Amino acid sequence: MTPPLAGVRLGAYGCAYFFASGAFMSYWPVWLRDRGVADAEIGTLFMGRQIVSVAATLLIGWLAHRLAGTRGLIAALGAAAALLMGLYEFAFGFAAILAVTLVWGTIWAPTMALYDGVVVPECKRLGFVYGRVRVWGSVAFIAGAFLCGLAVDRHGPAWTLYVGMAGILLLCPLALLLPVATTEPRAPGAAPTFGARDLLRQPAFLLFLAATGLCQASHAVLYSFGTLTWRDAGIDDVTISLLWAESVAIEIVLMLASGWLLLRLGVCGLIAFGLGCALVRWVAMAFTADLPALVILQALHAGSFAAAHLGAMAFLQRAVPAEGASLGQSLYYALGTGLTQAVMFQIAGLLYAEFAARAFLGMAVVALAGLVAIAALARRWDGSSLVGPPQK
Cα 184 to Cα 168: distance, rounded to the nearest angstrom: 30
- What is the predicted pLDDT for the residue at 3? 56
Q: Highest mean pLDDT range out of 119-123, 240-244, 303-307, 325-329?
A: 303-307
Res 231 pLDDT > 80: yes
Q: Is the pLDDT of residue 118 over 60?
A: yes
How many domains would you assign to the chain? Answer: 1
83 versus 334: the higher-pLDDT residue is 83
Please check whether residue 392 lies inside any domain of the structure: no
Residue 275 has pLDDT above 90, yes or no: yes
pLDDT band (50, 70, 90) for residue 192: low
Q: What is the pLDDT of residue 193?
A: 59
pLDDT of 9 reads 74
pLDDT tens digit sequence for 77-103: 888 888 888 888 888 888 999 998 888
Tens digits of residue pLDDT in 121-155: 777 777 777 777 777 888 888 888 889 888 988 88
188 has pLDDT over 50: no
pLDDT for the residue numbered 187:
47
| Residue 388 lies inside a defined structural domain of this protein | no
Averaged pLDDT score across all residues of the chain: 84
CATH number at residue 248: 1.20.1250.20
In a domain, 79, yes or no: yes
Q: Check pLDDT > 70 for residue 189.
A: no
Q: What is the pTM of this model?
A: 0.73
Task: Kindly state whether residue 188 falls inside one of the protein's structural domains.
Answer: no
Which of the residue ranges 1-15, 39-53, 295-309 has the most confident prediction, judged by mean pLDDT?
A: 295-309
Residue 257 placed within a domain: yes
Range(s) of the domain holding residue 83: 8-175+195-380
**Residue 54 within any structural domain of the chain:** yes
Answer whether 86's CB lies under 8 Å from 194's CB.
no
Q: What is the mean pLDDT of residues 165-176?
A: 88
* Residue 182 domain flag: no
User: Does residue 392 surpass a pLDDT of 50?
Assistant: no
Percentage of the chain lying above the pLDDT 70 cut:
91
8 A C-beta contact, residue 361 and residue 184: no
Q: Does any domain span residue 387?
A: no
